[in-house]
Amino acid sequence: MKLQNKVIIVTGASRGIGKEVAVLLDENGAKVVVNYSNSETEANETVESITENGGTALAIKADVSQRHEVTHLFDKTIEVLGKVDVLVNNAGILVTKLLKDNTQDEFTKLFDVNVRGIFNTLQEAESKLADNGIIINFSSSTAKLMFPNYALYSATKSAVEQITRVFSKEIGRGISVNAIAPGATATELFLDGKSQETIDKLSAMNAFGRLAEPIDIAKIVLFLANDDSKWISGQVIGANGALV
């Protein structure tokens, strides 16, 4: 229970990897804020599953691309739970198209959520995260690959990685800042619309011949969220089974 009494915000925690992260952090003693922007029912179900297990969880709606909503996310967390020890920036969206087919609106939305969202939360964390806190941003292993259809998404994640590196040297106060870069992971969002042939091809690209499960990623977040990881900062940790 190395996270005992730590208060952790997990953005985009209503489903997928974010939900798995929130549940695992709770199982290890944390008080978890389940952030969501649209999936209220799923967020409440996540909170219910945590509280039924004896944990403490709170669902807070906030679109991370909107600064005033991120301010509310932090202020409400501090009002109810007293502090914020760890920030897990999991919220993100994925659009896969050939570069020539992306619209202006899709470009804006991808960068607003995936990059501006982290920019907003880090600006709030600058003054509102507790001393000796921990920040974990989500990148993607696509940032190191040349996957067709992933140009804009990969560009947003490359931006996240560089923001992570620089901010780790700026924030001070004993706060560590890292990013985790998952490979292909078996979530509803990722699998939607993909053929079995595509899934098999992606599975064959790593050393284990399978997609990651959300728990594989959550366990790495758990390590980064506890103080055993404190001497790691400013790093991007690939969680992809030797994909890249």
Active site includes 36?
no
Q: Give the active site residue among 39, 65, 140, 229.
A: 140
Query: Which of 42, 21, 9 lies closest to 213, judged by CA?
Result: 21
Q: Give the active site residue among 14, 19, 36, 153.
A: 153
Active site includes 176?
no
Query: Which of 34, 29, 244, 33 lies closest to 139, judged by CA?
Result: 244
* CB 227, CB 235: distance < 8 Å: no
List, as one string, the DSSP characters of 52-118: HTT-EEEEEE--TTSHHHHHHHHHHHHHHHS---EEEE---------GGG--HHHHHHHHIIIIIHH
Q: Give the active site residue among 39, 139, 141, 154.
A: 139
Active site includes 169?
no
Active site includes 157?
yes
Name the pairing type of β-strands 86-89 and 56-61. unpaired
Rounded distance, CA 164 to CA 158, Å? 10
Q: Give the active site residue among 6, 19, 31, 157.
A: 157
Rounded distance, CA 152 to CA 95, Å? 8
* CB 86, CB 225: distance < 8 Å: yes
The residues annotated with a catalytic role in the active site are 139-140, 153, 157
